């Protein structure tokens, strides 16, 4: 099974890796801006969000390719958030996935603009979808959900809360509320967009959304755990940096064992809702296993 | 006539001034983020773009109120661009319209996030329009045009070109190409959105778009001229700062007289296309007069 999911991930990642820069190179825009956008898009990691989006479409019996534009738009928004997050005014990170961050290569001003450009262009990509089975009602639902997940009530709101919380001790509820917005909402959008494009019925959509919510929490706990026990070279960032920064993490609040226990509880809940969704859950289940068993 | 257009501008500006913060205060988002967003929205100037949008709808015989959400979304995007433009990493401005800039009040990190939030939320506002005469096809056209006008092929691209051009001498063609993107595209969108919402036919839409293009150039030249001859207190920013910064401006490349001549040429062209659009042009013509005769 491991080989099978690895093959699936590899193929989907390749598809995303090839498609993403193509959206940018065709733009009539300043070359340096395009280079800066492509630089960070290419520095991408596992492409978890776009793959989750396409796998969700497939779980509903449709062709995952139907979601390629939306998957790329989602990855653009994820990428813009990383570029802005890394800026000196924010986390001030020089490295991401072992590579110099965008502003280290292109300067702060162009990094800000490249982020703005990716965010804006993501919506244009969805608005521009030209597919016989995707009508304007579906596109409008995608844009509304994506804007809400990425905006002040979603990811950006979570980033602000995270900023405000720096140096303060949080309760586990406060920590979870930040993560639900900062990372959870975009992950949820991946599955919800899959539900829209795969034409899920209302009950399926609801269960898939709950599946994604719990998967998102488990994913974040896993990230925090890896930051403690992970290997510096595998992760490409200094291990334990969240602890050094006095950041609030699940292991810090719950102990390592407690964090693992909480992760497993949310993984079980995710599985429960996935089953309840009554879809072809095979691949999503594999994906979940991959995400939570990974060591990087 | 002066009194009449002033009254019209005042009423429309009031409508925008009241509506804009209401979109933000209702959000379930961090208070400090909302405050930061509202701060810059409230520091707004003439509200030229949203007023132009509503006046364009009216020129087509529809109720300007039909455009309130789109007008506010447009102003959000204009405002986000000012917040990011003022950042230390960009223009490093401490004052805008005589008030401390966003990052001076809320810090660089929150200013970046407030800009990101306004940009993202603008699309959600359009997607969420609930009006019996505005269907998803119209909303999709609005979103596609707005994203293109604001993104890498539009405003953000112009900002990058402007950045690259700093300290270099430009030809008049290069200067115009930057302005067409940096400020012209959003101004054009105001009129184009009015054409969509006012259900212009193809010929009307085309002529209105050309009207807006020339108005945008004339508007930018007027801005450059005001920067030379304007009064520091009236403008709320140091007069001649563009010259001190060694920025490329129309008067610098063409002399003051040459710039005025060019402005009038584009004003004439704008008027020509406005007449050709065969709409009720009275108010748009007044607006144009106001924009080009203003002394601040």
Q: pLDDT tens across B16-66, in order?
A: 999 999 999 999 999 999 999 999 999 978 999 999 999 999 999 999 999
Q: Do B110 and A33 touch (CB under 8 A)?
A: no
Contact of A143 with A151, CB cutoff 8 Å = no
> How many Cα atoms within 13 Å fall on the side-chain side of residue B92?
6
Q: pLDDT tens across A20-32, in order?
A: 999 999 999 999 9
Q: Could you tell me how far CA B102 lies from the centroid of its own chain? A: 18
Contact of B217 with B190, CB cutoff 8 Å = no
Q: Which DSSP category does B281 fall into?
A: -
Better-predicted residue by pLDDT, A160 or A235: A160
Angle at alpha carbon of residue B180, lines to B196 and A25, rounded to 5°: 90
The CA distance from A61 to A279, in Å, is 8
Report residue A230's pLDDT band, with 50, 70 and 90 as the boundaries. low
Q: What pLDDT shows up at residue B172?
A: 94
Q: Do A33 and B147 touch (CB under 8 A)?
A: no
Q: How many other C-beta atoms are found inside a 10 Å radius of the C-beta of residue B43?
A: 18
Q: What pLDDT shows up at residue A236?
A: 60
Average pLDDT over residues B189-197: 98
Q: pLDDT tens across A37-49, in order?
A: 999 999 978 999 9
The CA distance from B248 to B218, in Å, is 16
Q: What pLDDT shows up at residue A229?
A: 80
- Through-space distance between the first and last CA atoms of chain A, rounded to whole angstroms: 19
Which residues on B lie below 8 Å from A149 (Cβ)? none
Closest chain A C-alpha to B120 CA, distance in angstroms = 5
Average pLDDT over residues B266-284: 97
Contact of A263 with A39, CB cutoff 8 Å = no
Q: Residues with Cβ < 8 Å from A88, sequence gap 6 or more?
A: A103, A108, B89
Q: Do B164 and A30 touch (CB under 8 A)?
A: yes
Q: Which two tokens stand for residue A231?
A: 């290997």
Q: Residues with Cβ < 8 Å from A228, sequence gap 6 or more?
A: A239, A240, A243, A249, A251, A256
Q: Phi/psi at A278 (nearest 5 deg)?
A: 55, 50
Q: Which residues 114-133 in chain B show a CB within 8 A of chain A? A: 115-117, 119-121, 123-124, 127-128
Lowest mean pLDDT across A215-219, A238-242, B291-295: A238-242
Chain A contact for B164 (CB, 8 A cutoff): yes
Which of B258, B256, B194, B221 has its CA nearest to residue B55?
B194
Q: Which residues 47-106 in chain B show a CB within 8 A of chain A? A: 80, 84, 87-90
Look at the block and give the residue holding tokens 């491991």.
Answer: A2
Lowest mean pLDDT across A2-16, A211-225, A244-258, B180-194: A244-258
The contacts found for B177-180 with CB under 8 angstroms, 24 or more apart, are: B179/B216, B179/B217, B179/B220, B180/B213, B180/B216, B180/B217
The CA distance from A69 to A74, in Å, is 9
- How many Cβ pairs within 8 Å bridge chains A and B? 158
Report residue A279's pLDDT band, with 50, 70 and 90 as the boundaries. very high
Of all residues in chain B, the percent with pLDDT exceeding 70 is 94
Which residues on A lie below 8 Å from B116 (Cβ)? 80, 84, 115-116, 119, 156
The CA distance from B204 to B139, in Å, is 19
Chain A contact for B5 (CB, 8 A cutoff): no
Q: Which two tokens stand for residue B8?
A: 């019209």
Closest chain B C-alpha to A87 CA, distance in angstroms = 9
**Sign of the Cα pseudo-torsion (A214, A217, A218, A219, in order):** positive
Angle between helices B202-229 and B185-197 (to 10 degrees): 150
Q: What pLDDT shows up at residue A235?
A: 55
Q: Which two tokens stand for residue A236?
A: 């490409």
Q: Do A156 and B110 touch (CB under 8 A)?
A: no
Q: Could you tell me how far CA A260 lies from the centroid of its own chain? A: 21
Give yes or no for residue B173 having a pLDDT over 80: yes
Average pLDDT over residues B99-114: 98
Closest chain A C-alpha to B39 CA, distance in angstroms = 15
Distances (CA, A) of A209 to A50, A199, A213, A241, B50: 16, 14, 6, 32, 37
Mutate which of A29, A78, A118, A120 to test chain B, going by most B C-beta atoms within 10 A?
A: A120
Which residues in B157-194 are b (16+ Cβ under 10 Å) and which e?
bbbbbbbbbeeeebeeeebbbbbbbbbbbbbbbbbbbb
- DSSP readout, B124-151? HHHHT---TT--HHHHHHHHHHHHHHHS
Q: What pLDDT shows up at residue A221?
A: 95
Average pLDDT over residues A176-203: 97
Q: Do B152 and A123 touch (CB under 8 A)?
A: no
Contact of B57 with B197, CB cutoff 8 Å = yes
Q: What pLDDT shows up at residue B240?
A: 55
Q: Do B112 and A90 touch (CB under 8 A)?
A: yes
Q: What pLDDT shows up at residue A238?
A: 59
Average pLDDT, chain A: 93
Domains of chain B with bracketed CATH:
2-293 (1.10.600.10)
Which of A98, A41, A97, A100 has its CA nearest to residue A74?
A41
Which residues on B lie below 8 Å from A143 (Cβ)? 123-124, 127, 143
Mutate which of A33, A123, A150, A165 to test chain B, going by most B C-beta atoms within 10 A?
A: A123
Q: What pLDDT shows up at residue B246?
A: 65
Q: Could you tell me how far CA B203 lies from the centroid of its own chain? A: 24
Chain B contact for A21 (CB, 8 A cutoff): no
Interface pTM, i.e. ipTM? 0.95
Give yes or no for residue A234 having a pLDDT over 70: no
């Amino acid at each position: 099974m491991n080989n099978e999911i690895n093959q699936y991930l590899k193929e989907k990642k390749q598809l995303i890796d090839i498609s993403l820069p193509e959206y940018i190179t065709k733009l009539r825009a300043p070359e340096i801006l395009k280079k800066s956008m492509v630089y960070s898009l290419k520095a991408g990691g596992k492409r978890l969000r776009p793959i989750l989006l396409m796998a969700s479409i497939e779980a509903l019996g449709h062709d995952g390719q139907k979601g390629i534009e939306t998957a790329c738009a989602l990855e653009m928004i994820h990428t813009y958030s990383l570029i802005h997050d890394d800026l000196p005014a924010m986390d001030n990170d020089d490295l991401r996935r072992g590579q110099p961050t965008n502003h280290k290569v292109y300067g702060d001003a162009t990094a800000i603009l490249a982020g703005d450009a990716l965010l804006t262009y993501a919506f244009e990509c969805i608005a521009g979808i030209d597919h016989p089975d995707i009508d304007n009602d579906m596109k409008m639902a995608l844009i509304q959900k994506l804007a809400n997940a990425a905006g002040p009530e979603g990811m950006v709101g979570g980033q602000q809360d995270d900023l405000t919380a720096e140096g303060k001790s949080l309760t586990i509820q406060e920590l979870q509320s930040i993560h639900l917005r900062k990372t959870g909402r975009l992950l949820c959008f991946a599955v919800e967009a899959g539900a829209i494009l795969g034409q899920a019925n209302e009950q399926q959509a609801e269960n898939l959304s709950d599946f994604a919510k719990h998967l998102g929490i488990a994913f974040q706990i896993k990230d925090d755990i890896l930051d403690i026990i992970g290997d510096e070279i595998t992760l490409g960032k200094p291990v334990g940096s969240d602890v050094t920064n006095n950041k609030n993490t699940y292991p810090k609040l719950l102990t390592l064992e407690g964090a693992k226990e909480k992760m497993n509880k949310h993984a079980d809940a995710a599985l429960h809702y996935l089953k309840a969704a009554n879809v072809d859950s095979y691949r999503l289940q594999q994906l979940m296993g991959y995400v939570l068993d990974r060591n990087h």
